[in-house]
Amino acid sequence: MLRLEMPPLVVVTSREPYVDEHTKFGIRTVQKAGGVVSALDPLMQTLGGHWVAWGSGSADRDTLRDGVRWVPPDRPRYRLHRVFLAPEEVEGFYAEYSNQGLWPLCHLLIERAQFAERAWARYAAVNQRFARTAADRAPKDAWVFSHDYQLALFPSTLRALRPDVTIAHFWHIPWPPARVFQLVPQHRALLQGLLGADVLGFQTPADAEQFLATVAALTPAGVDFAQGQVQWQGRTVRVRAFPIAVDTAGIQALVQSPRVERLSLRLRRRLDRRGHQLVVAVERADYTKGCLRRLAAWDAFLTRYPGWRDRVTFLQVLVPSRTEVPEYRQLFARLMRQSRAFNRRWPRQGSPLLLTIPREVDRPRLMALFRAADVVVIHSLLDGMNLVAKEFVAAQVERRGVLLLSRSAGAAQELGGALPIHPLDPEGTADALATALNMDRAERARRMADMQRHLTENDLEGWIDAILATLYEVALNRVVKVASS
Structural domain spans, the chain: 7-244+461-479, 248-458
pLDDT band, very low/low/confident/very high, at 1 (cuts 50, 70, 90): very low
Q: How many whole angstroms separate alpha carbon 165 and alpha carbon 383?
A: 31
Q: Report the C-alpha dihedral over residues 98, 102, 108, 111, rounded to 10 degrees.
A: 80
pLDDT score of 485: 64
Give the residue-averaged pLDDT of 127-149.
97
Per residue in 68-81, pLDDT tens? 999 999 999 999 99
Residue 385 pLDDT more than 90?
yes
State the CATH class of domain 248-458.
alpha beta
Q: Assign 3-state DSSP to the chain and report helix, strand, coil percentages, each to 5.
A: 50, 20, 30
Portion of the chain with pLDDT greater than 70, in percent: 98
Cα(474)–Cα(198) distance, integer angstroms: 7
Collapsing DSSP to helix, strand or coil, 81 comes out as: strand
For residue 261, with 0-12 CB atoms within 10 Å meaning exposed, 13-18 middle and 19 or more buried, which class applies?
middle
CB neighbour class for 78 (10 Å; exposed up to 12, middle 13-18, buried from 19) = buried
Instruction: Specify the 3-state DSSP secondary structure of 4.
Output: helix
H/E stretch holding 414: none
- Residues 269 and 230: their CA atoms lie apart, in Å, by 56
Same fold, 7-244+461-479 and 248-458: yes
pLDDT exceeds 70 at position 482: no
Name the strand (E) or helix (H) holding 383: none
Please provide the average confidence, as pLDDT, over all residues in the chain. Answer: 95
Task: Please say if the pLDDT value at position 4 is more than 60.
Answer: no
Contacts of 261 (CB under 8 A, 6+ apart): 255, 368, 371
In degrees and rounded to multiples of 5, residue 99 shows phi and psi of -100, -15
State the pLDDT at residue 69. 97
Alpha helices, DSSP H, located in 138-185? 154-161, 178-181
What DSSP line would sit under 6-69, residue for residue?
---EEEE-SS-SEEEEEETTEEEEEEPPSHHHHHHHHHHHHH--EEEEE--STTTGGG-BTTBE
Q: Are 72 and 31 in contact (CB under 8 A)?
A: yes
- Out of 3-17, 62-76, 249-263, pick the least confident: 3-17
Task: Label residue 199 by pLDDT band (50, 70, 90).
Answer: very high
Does residue 72 have a cis bond before it (omega within 30 degrees)? yes
Class of domain 7-244+461-479: alpha beta
Q: What 3-state DSSP class applies to 338?
A: helix
Whether residue 38 is predicted with pLDDT greater than 80 in this model: the reply is: no
Instruction: State yes or no: pLDDT of 432 exceeds 70.
Output: yes
Q: How many angstroms separate the CA atoms of 463 and 407, rounded?
A: 22
What percent of the chain has pLDDT above 90? 89
| Peptide bond preceding 420 in cis form (omega within 30 of 0) | no
Which residues on neighbouring strands pair with residue 284, listed in sequence order?
319
Contact 167, 199 (CB under 8 A): yes
Whole-number Å distance between alpha carbons of 419 and 412: 9
Decide if pLDDT at 149 tops 90.
yes
pTM: 0.94
The answer on pLDDT for 3 being more than 80 is no
Query: Helices (H) and strands (E) in the chain — how many of each?
Result: 18, 18
In 3D space, the residue among 65, 56, 319, 52 whose CA is nearest the CA of residue 167 turns out to be 52
Q: How far does CA 100 lie from the centroid of its chain? A: 18
Looking at residue 155, its pLDDT comes to: 98
Distance CA 34, CA 50 (A): 19
